[in-house]
Amino acid sequence: MKKSNLTIIIAVIIGLVGGYLLFSPRFSQGIESHDHMVEGGQNQMWTCSMHPQIMQNNPGQCPLCGMDLTPVDQEGAGLMPNQFKMSDNAMALANVQTTVVGGKIADGNELQLSGKIAENESLNSIQSSYFNGRIETLFVNTTGEMVRQGEKLATIYSPELVAAQQELLTTAGLKETQPELYQAVRNKLKIWKLSESQIQNMEQSGKVSNVVTIYANTSGTVIEKMVNSGDYVKSGQPLFKIANLNSVWAKFDAYESQIPLLKVGQTISISSNAYKNDSREAVITFIEPTLNSSTRTVLVRAELKNSDGSLKPGMFVSGKLKGVNGPSSKEVFVPSSAVMWTGKRSIVYVKPDNAIPVFELREVELGPLVNQNYAIISGLKSGETIVTKGTFTVDAAAQLSGKNSMMSQKNPRQVDTPTGFQSELGNALQAYMRLKEALVQDDVALAAKTSNSLVQELKAIAASSLDMSSMEEWSDKKTILIGLAQQMSEAQGIVDQRKQFIALSEAMTQVVSLFGVGQTVFSQFCPMANNNQGASWLSFEKTIRNPYFGNSMLSCGSIQAELH
């Protein structure tokens, strides 16, 4: 009986186990299907649409923002080896925008140049001393004073003049019998720039004067005073520099890529920061024949009438030339925000089919920069669609997909960047960091001031240690960086400054990624900046200090990459 009962119990247990296995959904799909699920579970990766650097083997929430992770689309069927796909959600969150390439530039093919007002050197004059002596009295004591021709400038005691006056008085009595001697003495005084009336007064008074008055030989503004009362001066020594500011020069720096667009005789519209609504037409009268090897620029000059004196030497001005075109009518133009730099050549991201979110990296050769638009010599044709906003997000997606990208450094630099250049670039990056901190502190005035400092640091980079190809490449980057920094300095209010800072940060990130600065730099990103479109910036520290919100949302953001 006991044995029979045991047999029944064992049979019931076997039946239950067999029924469970038989009706289990996993078992009913077959062993082969089960293995596929395991294999799929092992290969499936999950990521965050907002932070694509987050990759996990299992679903869950993003450790940075708390959003639900989404499966990575691993389907590559139908894609070329250099193509990759982004999810619609990732594109929407990053606000990826595209533009159809065309042969025209917005705003009437307008070339913009930045420069300063300078005195017209052809109208400058130097008031010098024509004899040795000592300054007894100065009638002009400060720079900026206006003087008129014939006005008193100074009195000078000169032993030579005292002796010459005595000779004049002696020979005056002999002018009838020795006229040549008399005339020689008078001519010597004239060579010393004494006027006829001064010489006649000496003769008529019959007395020797210990001091002689120096008169202005031209009218204008004293822009430099080179002596003080009591100074001893030598013959030919400059006393004052006088400029006629009724006419001034506007001097611009044009970069190498802009040279083909410039010609003597072109009309340029010039406006100053002080008088933004006062635009003046001028003609380019001079283009420097040699290229400055340090700055990779040429000087472009135009002459402006300034009878009202409103244009002051040293003023920042901007020049616009309308209707300019590249050297070839076959060239197309793309916004500078679309271009990323990885080596001698540059890259853009092309969207082959507007209907699907598939992208591919494309190398292009750049032509001149016109109104923040690059002429494309080769690599693109009119009608193709490229990414013009969110290029870094697209590049990150390419990197995560295992495709060639700028961040993956699969396009290495042509040569190692010399430490000397990295040090110079590091000085500019320090100025950028001070600008970022000014925005963190919501300080409009400090942001404008540090923007100007950044411009000067960028201009000071000589780049003489770079080889020729790298130097040409830096020239293009420098053009954009200086232009963006100058726009920052001219921005009105903290909102406008932060808007300008977005493009400046993207350009600075590309430069640091390409050349390096010899230390770790963190690329940080805030998804809520730029009207929830997202924006990035650079920092030396891992701690988030958000320049787009300041103290209101100081810690909003995350690290998206490390640059070296």
pLDDT of residue 186: 84
pLDDT per residue as tens digits for the range 453-492 = 999 999 988 877 776 567 766 776 787 788 788 888 888 8
3-class secondary-structure state, position 83: strand
Residue 199 near residue 165 (C-beta atoms within 8 A): no
Top-tier CATH class for 88-108+327-400: mainly beta
| Overall pTM surpassing 0.75 (yes/no) | no
CA pair distance 400, 392, nearest whole angstrom: 12
Percent of the chain with pLDDT over 70: 78
Residues 6 or more apart whose Cβ sits within 8 Å of residue 97: 387, 388, 389, 390
Domain 111-122+245-321, CATH number (from 3.30.420.40, 2.40.30.170, 3.30.70.20, 1.10.3720.10): 2.40.30.170
**Structural domain spans, the chain:** 1-43, 44-74, 88-108+327-400, 111-122+245-321, 125-243, 419-563
- pLDDT of 250 above 60: yes
- pLDDT of 404 above 60: yes
pLDDT of residue 25: 43
Q: What's the CATH fold of domain 125-243?
A: OB fold (Dihydrolipoamide Acetyltransferase, E2P) (2.40.50)
pLDDT per residue as tens digits for the range 194-217 = 878 888 888 888 778 788 888 888
Residues 6 or more apart whose Cβ sits within 8 Å of residue 118: 248, 249, 250, 251, 313, 314
3-class secondary-structure state, position 26: helix
pLDDT per residue as tens digits for the range 252-292 = 988 777 788 889 999 999 988 788 788 899 999 999 999 88
pLDDT per residue as tens digits for the range 33-70 = 334 333 344 467 777 655 555 667 788 887 766 677 77
pLDDT of residue 276: 76
What percent helix, strand, coil does the chain show, rounded to 5?
Answer: 35, 25, 35
- pLDDT of 353 above 80: yes
Most confident by average pLDDT, 6-20, 66-80, 176-190: 176-190
